[in-house]
Amino acid sequence: MTEPLALLRTGAVTSAGLNAPSTFAALRTRLNDFNDLPFIDPRGEPITAAPVRLGREADRAPAIDKHGAMLARAIGECLDGLPHLDTQGIPLLLCVAEVTRPGRIAALDSVLRAGVEEALGRRFAAQSRVYAYGQAGAAMALNEAFDLARSHPFVLIAAVDSYANADTLLGMHRAGRVLSSVNTHGFIPGEAACALLVARPDQITQVAPRFSNRGATVCAAPDATLFCTGLGIARELAVIGGAAPNRAIALSAAINTALGGLPADSGGVGLRISGQSSEDFYAKEFALAAARTNVSATPLWMLADSLGETGAAAGLLALAWAYASAHKGYAPSYNMLCLMASDEGERSAALLSFGEFSA
């Protein structure tokens, strides 16, 4: 990493809102749209989930079609108002579910991008690729974006995932991971899509950052931009369902690496945004990592409180929520730490700083 990466635009589709402004307004006030599904647990109680409501036809469509519809909507919002951008020169880094996910959609990696390009009427650069790392895929894509930004003016990172589709919900319930009347330590299944446009600092004048994609919105600091200044990625051997003890070694290492990008006179990290679910395993891991890296006293915002577990979309939504809070002026700090973890062991931390760029 030679210079920071600027976060310029966002787009989001979640159970709490079908665009970024409404989604992050709901997250700010801790609103949710949790609903009982037709699925029942062994005691006959309904399973609670946070599905996205796109409309009757879209909601009843096959899972791959709903994935594509959510993703196209999020990307369209992110690029809205930027007609001068030629997306054929913009790599699309697409984050999706881990390959070991129960009920994973067949041919997800090969079909999804083509469907989105057709829906949007756009083509993306040949350097586009898929990151099947679940929640931590956002950090993997962000890491790649640092390299791609050297030869491309912009990079588009997008994510879509669902734990609320029938096959994944059934597989996770059988594994004892879904919240129910017989499992009070599980997660609430959710689904979401998110998109993030990033670029080198010298491209900020080409696409001025703004939060709301519905019109000109006055930011708390109009000349400031949110930058990724530190990124840590590590692999954990102690995974959920495994035999190794949960010591948060990899997540602690990722946090320490990310904190290396913190300026000496910055005053430290003042906010953590976590993609963790409500499962005991991840709650313990994130608490251990926070204590070991000396950030346990930092305020913590959790996406799952309003959206449930959104998988690959959660990592990108954490970055987009930091963007919204910074530009809307309600973030408690100009330095924020976004934390992500996938079921296969990838752990990551991204340090974001809000301000003006100086070389």
Least confident segment among 15-19, 150-154, 201-205, 338-342: 201-205
State which amino acid sits at residue 333. S
Strand-by-strand arrangement of the 335-341 sheet? 129-131, 92-95, 154-162, 191-199, 5-13, 225-235, 346-355, 335-341, 271-274, 300-302
* Separation between Cα atoms, residue 93 and residue 339, nearest integer Å: 19
Checking if the pLDDT of 315 tops 60, the result is yes
Residue that has been written with the tokens 């913009």 in this structure:
90
pLDDT at 208: 66
Domain enclosing residue 147, as ranges: 5-203
Does residue 271 belong to any structural domain of this protein? yes
- Say what the pLDDT of residue 40 is: 87
Tokens of 52: 């996205």
- Tell me if 219 is assigned to some domain: no
- Kindly state whether residue 211 falls inside one of the protein's structural domains: no
Q: What are the pLDDT digits (tens) for 101-137?
A: 999 998 898 899 999 999 999 999 999 999 999 999 9
pLDDT of residue 24: 96
- My answer on whether 110 and 11 are in the same domain is yes
Beta strands in the chain (DSSP E): 5-13, 35-40, 46-49, 92-95, 129-131, 154-162, 191-199, 225-235, 271-274, 300-302, 335-341, 346-355
Q: What is the pLDDT of residues 192-229, one digit of tens each?
A: 999 999 999 988 888 766 654 434 444 445 568 999 99
pLDDT of residue 82: 85
Q: Are residues 193 and 250 in the same domain?
A: no
Residues 143, 180 within the same domain: yes
User: How high is the pLDDT of residue 359?
Assistant: 54
Please report whether residue 38 resides in a domain.
yes
pLDDT at residue 216, as a whole number: 40
In this structure, the answer to whether residues 107 and 231 fall within a common structural domain is no
Question: In this predicted model, which residue has the larger pLDDT, 208 or 255?
Answer: 255
With CA atoms as reference, report the closest residue to 108 among 92, 130, 82: 130
Mean pLDDT of the chain: 91
Let me know whether 190 and 229 are in one domain.
no
Residue 217 lies inside a defined structural domain of this protein = no
218 part of a folded domain:
no
- Say if residue 61 is in the same domain as residue 198: yes
Domain ends where: 203, 235, 253?
A: 203
**Nearest by Cα to 178 from 277, 99, 100:** 277
Q: Are residues 188 and 325 in the same domain?
A: no
The closest alpha carbon to 25, from 358, 328, 341, 346, belongs to 328
CA distance 341 to 288: 14
In a domain, 210, yes or no: no
* 197 and 230 share one domain: no
Residues 253 and 140 in one domain: no
pLDDT digits (tens, 9 = 90+) for 40-96: 888 989 999 999 999 888 888 889 999 999 999 999 999 998 878 899 999 999 999
Same domain, yes or no, for 192 and 244? no
Global pTM value? 0.94
Residues 257 and 333 both lie in one domain:
yes
Cα distances (angstroms) measured from residue 59 to each of 85, 164, 194, 239, 302: 31, 11, 18, 33, 26
Whether the Cβ atoms of residue 268 and residue 171 lie closer than 8 Å to each other: no
The CATH number covering residue 238 comes to 3.40.47.10
Residues 244 and 96 placed together within one structural domain of the fold: no
Residue 280 lies in a domain: yes
Q: Which of 173, 203, 233 is the last residue of a domain?
A: 203
Q: What's the total number of domains in the chain?
A: 2
